[in-house]
Amino acid sequence: MLEALSKHFGFSLAAPFEKLPARVREILLHGSTEPVRFFMEEGERRYFFTKPFEGVIGNLERRFRETDSEGIRDELSRYMNNRPCRACGGARLKKEALCVRVGGLSIYELTRLSIREAFAFFESLSVSQREEKIGARIMKEIRSRLSFLQNVGLSYISLDRASGTLSGGEGQRIRLATQIGSRLMGVLYILDEPSIGLHQRDNRKLLSTLKDLRDLGNTVLVVEHDEETIRSADHVIDMGPGAGEHGGAVVAAGTPEAIISNEGPTGTSWRFPAAGRTISRTSTFPSLSA
């Protein structure tokens, strides 16, 4: 194809890309509406056909759009990046939508606030009686969701944050807040160390949230090493006595109170924290169940 293009548009295949004429570089990248006579070789035969050249970028976009293969999609994603739109400046909305304001802020400006700031904004928002009647249910739902996100320790995250930039624990807690909002019952929730990265104050909020899920009629299974979380469980299963090939046995099982009163290694380490150094690699699997 490049050979046919070089003959048709009169440029050298040996010339570096940066030294090619601007028109030729534009054609190579973005294609040309002008038909070009291409050929295919099969053994000693050469087949000719004429069609416009779609360009390298056009070819990549078409293949990305049409493929059903995640592997090819991931491979083509390497040639892409995100840039703010020149028209909206990254707001991702047309100007008519951005002209609508609530409390002096557009939806784009609102989503740039942290969850803590957004919650404070909606708590203090003053609207007319007519507007209150129109938006009462919407406002109730927004305040409720923001409150859930705060309660699982995510008050510092802005609402416009890309999901790909979230840590595993943050993503897990966002999904947890969504589940709380849905008010489902009879569901088994399994969480893998949700307390990682949380301040102790936020950890208590998370525990309160997990208990709310339990009290709705759900079962919550938590894989955790945090002592406060373990002590809050209804039932604890402690695996050990060490990690990896040194573990795999049930060291203790029961309520936290029963385990503490037991003379086993888990109970001893809880009663005498210094003794716990010898089993510091124990993996703990507590369960908060209805």
Q: Where do we find the tokens 């624990």?
A: 169
Average pLDDT over residues 229-249: 86
Residue 210: exposed, middle, or buried by beta-carbon count in 10 A (0-12, 13-18, 19+)? buried
Nearest to 195 by CA among 174, 226, 220, 166: 226
Residue 10: left if φ>0, alpha if ψ -120 to 50, beta else—which one?
Answer: left
Domains and CATH numbers, the chain: 2-77 (1.10.8.280), 184-288 (3.40.50.300)
Residue type, 229: T
Average of per-residue pLDDT values in the chain: 84
The pLDDT of residue 85 is above 80 = yes
pLDDT value of position 256: 87
pLDDT, residue 263, reads 65
The CB density around residue 240, as the number of other CB atoms within 10 Å, is: 20
Least confident span in 3-12, 24-33, 83-92, 123-132:
83-92
User: Is residue 275 pLDDT above 60, yes or no?
Assistant: no
Judge whether residue 286 has pLDDT over 60.
Answer: no
Q: Where are the alpha helices (DSSP H) in the chain?
A: 2-9, 22-30, 56-66, 70-77, 95-98, 107-111, 115-124, 129-151, 168-182, 200-215, 227-231, 256-261, 265-271
The mean per-residue pLDDT over the stretch 237-242 comes to 84
- Quote the pLDDT of residue 268: 67
- What is the rounded CA–CA span in Å between residue 163 and residue 78? 18
Is residue 265 predicted with pLDDT exceeding 90? Answer: no
pLDDT category at 289 given cuts 50, 70, 90 is very low
Q: ω into residue 35 within 30 of 0, thus cis?
A: no
pLDDT band at 272 (very low <50, low <70, confident <90, very high): low
Q: Using the predicted structure, report yes or no on whether residue 267 has a pLDDT greater than 90.
A: no
* pTM for the full predicted model: 0.58
Residues 22-32: pLDDT tens digits? Answer: 999 999 999 99
pLDDT at 274 over 50: no
Quick one: average pLDDT of 237-262?
A: 85
- At residue 283 the predicted structure's pLDDT band, cuts being 50, 70 and 90, is very low
Question: Per-residue pLDDT averaged across 70-91, rounded?
Answer: 87
So what's the pLDDT on residue 281?
A: 34
123 contacts 143 by C-beta, under 8 angstroms: yes
